[in-house]
Amino acid sequence: MRKDKPKYKQIIDAAVIVIAENGYHQAQVSKIAKQAGVADGTIYLYFKNKEDILISVFQEKMGVFVSKLEQIIARDLTASSKLGLMIESHFELLASDIHLAIVTQLELRQSNPELRTKINDVLREYLKLMDQILVKGMEDGEFDAKMDIRLARQMVFGTMDETITTWVMNDHKYDLIELAPKVQRLLLKGMQA
Amino acid sequence: MRKDKPKYKQIIDAAVIVIAENGYHQAQVSKIAKQAGVADGTIYLYFKNKEDILISVFQEKMGVFVSKLEQIIARDLTASSKLGLMIESHFELLASDIHLAIVTQLELRQSNPELRTKINDVLREYLKLMDQILVKGMEDGEFDAKMDIRLARQMVFGTMDETITTWVMNDHKYDLIELAPKVQRLLLKGMQA
Ligand SMILES: CCCCCCCCCCCCCCCCCC(=O)SCCNC(=O)CCNC(=O)[C@H](O)C(C)(C)COP(=O)(O)OP(=O)(O)OC[C@H]1O[C@@H](n2cnc3c(N)ncnc32)[C@H](O)[C@@H]1OP(=O)(O)O
Ligand SMILES: CCCCCCCCCCCCCCCCCC(=O)SCCNC(=O)CCNC(=O)[C@H](O)C(C)(C)COP(=O)(O)OP(=O)(O)OC[C@H]1O[C@@H](n2cnc3c(N)ncnc32)[C@H](O)[C@@H]1OP(=O)(O)O
């Protein structure tokens, strides 16, 4: 698999930096190659084109995040605690790497329909796990059993997403991780039974 | 003022359609001129460039929306009712014009820093009015007086925004306006005193 090849991760990490610093449209493959310290041709051994790089970056980082979330879900905790840990993990990941935060909040918002569908297919993996937490909370009587799960998911994701974009647009000058418990409290109140 | 000139509105309305159908990057000024039924040169009597057209479209539509919101705020109603009417007006505006919804949810999400700052300056007008409703609710004891107003605003806006983007991505096949009272209920519970 291409992922096991030595330079795959090196190119992915370089792409995050180049896309964050230049914007997706100005992030030429040659710039990514230079940042990764590989020849331009090497990139094409791993990726079809720039679009494939963007999607692969997102898949790769989402894969790691999803594994972490699966571990949280497997633990013997209430749905409220799982939701809190999910919010905290999401905030921690993006607060720890501003390049990743810029790519996630600004550069992944592409309007081109084919590209957008591929991006949202990756996002779906995360939202499916979020739904598992919400369903458990509804079954266990912690969350309102009559709430519309799609709207609740859109509220949870939308609130986190807007909080993080505002933090990015304000040059990440305040502590994002500190906001996680406050966001959890606001959202839990909205969903409680 | 340029706004009073006869072809201004005609060009704005054409731009919404052309940008929605082609994407902002593929929406050449000549396409907009053609859709508006004016000569290419006429566009430049009103607008500096394509960026100026995009910002003007947003300012123009936001101006109308903000007037409506100011009327709602001036009424003798509880903050909860005002919030409900705000959500309903926001959903109604976008549900009534799918081109406007596509431009708002997909094409206004530009990552170029100068352009994004101009877009977010227009958005700020709306968010300031939303804050007025939230502050009134906190003062009147309807909303939690200790809540962080910025986070509450990010929750309210983020939830509406995610709900609408999902509706656009699902080819607007369900009724968005029907969702407004459910969204209001979820959000009010989160903020209640
Ligand atoms: C065709 C057009 C159709 C139009 C239809 C018309 C109307 C219909 C509905 C409109 C929908 C609008 C959609 C717009 C879409 C385009 C934009 C997006 O992508 S939106 C989706 C993505 N979202 C975005 O892109 C929005 C990103 N947000 C922003 O860019 C800004 O928040 C702002 C410009 C909106 C307001 O800025 P500002 O007035 O400055 O107010 P702030 O509160 O931000 O900051 C005040 C101070 O508080 C600090 N602080 C803030 N939060 C926190 C916190 N939680 N903890 C601690 N601190 C916090 C902050 O650092 C600052 O400190 P300092 O500097 O004073 O020391
Ligand atoms: C450098 C990378 C760093 C990575 C870091 C890794 C991880 C950290 C955190 C990740 C953050 C992710 C950020 C991602 C940013 C990119 C994307 C955005 O812009 S996100 C911000 C903007 N947001 C977006 O772009 C997300 C837009 N959403 C979507 O595109 C889709 O919801 C989906 C693809 C996500 C899931 O699709 P699907 O699995 O199909 O599930 P649905 O529920 O949608 O639909 C199921 C059925 O229900 C219907 N229905 C739905 N809602 C309602 C309702 N309220 N009432 C009634 N009906 C409703 C619907 O019509 C459908 O009906 P049918 O067809 O079965 O008849």
pLDDT of residue A105: 98
The two structure tokens encoding residue A3: 């992922």
The DSSP annotation for B87-98 comes to: HHHHHHHHHT-H
Residue A165 lies in a domain: yes
pLDDT of residue B192: 86
Question: Is the pLDDT reported for residue B100 higher than 70?
Answer: yes
pLDDT of residue A58: 98
DSSP B108: T
Per the prediction, chain B carries an average pLDDT of 96
Contacts of A133 (CB under 8 A, 6+ apart): A73, A79, A82, A83, A86
Domain that holds residue A74: 51-191
Segment B77-94 mean pLDDT: 97
Residue A36 lies in a domain: no
pLDDT in tens, B104-127: 999 999 999 999 999 999 999 999
pLDDT in tens, A53-109: 999 999 999 999 999 999 999 999 999 999 999 999 999 999 999 999 999 999 999
Is A107 or B191 the better-scoring residue by pLDDT? A107
Residue B17 lies in a domain: no
Whether B83 and chain A come into contact, CB under 8 Å, resolves to: no
Question: Is the pLDDT reported for residue A1 higher than 70?
Answer: no
Residue B22 lies in a domain: no
Segment B70-82 mean pLDDT: 97
Question: Is the pLDDT reported for residue A151 higher than 80?
Answer: yes
Q: Is A128 a pocket residue for ligand 2 (Cβ < 6 Å)?
A: no
Q: What is the pTM of this model?
A: 0.98
Residue A70 lies in a domain: yes
Whether B26 and chain A come into contact, CB under 8 Å, resolves to: no
Cα separation, A89 vs A121, whole angstroms:
21
pLDDT of residue B174: 98
When pLDDT is cut at 50, 70 and 90, the band that residue B3 belongs to is: confident
pLDDT of residue B1: 59
Question: Is the pLDDT reported for residue A4 higher than 80?
Answer: no
Within 8 A of B182 by CB-CB distance, chain A residues are: 148, 151
Within 8 A of B186 by CB-CB distance, chain A residues are: 147, 151-152, 155, 190-191
Cα separation, B81 vs B87, whole angstroms:
10
pLDDT of residue A6: 83
Residue B59 lies in a domain: yes
**Domain tally, chain A:** 1
Residue B28 lies in a domain: no
pLDDT of residue A192: 86
**Torsion-angle region of A47 (φ positive above 0: left; ψ -120 to 50: alpha; else: beta):** beta
pLDDT of residue B38: 97
Whether A178 and chain B come into contact, CB under 8 Å, resolves to: no
Please answer whether residues A162 and B158 qualify as being in contact, where contact means their C-beta atoms are separated by less than 8 angstroms. Answer: yes
Q: What CATH number is attached to the domain comprising A160? A: 1.10.357.10
Counting residues of chain B whose pLDDT is more than 90, the rounded percentage is 94
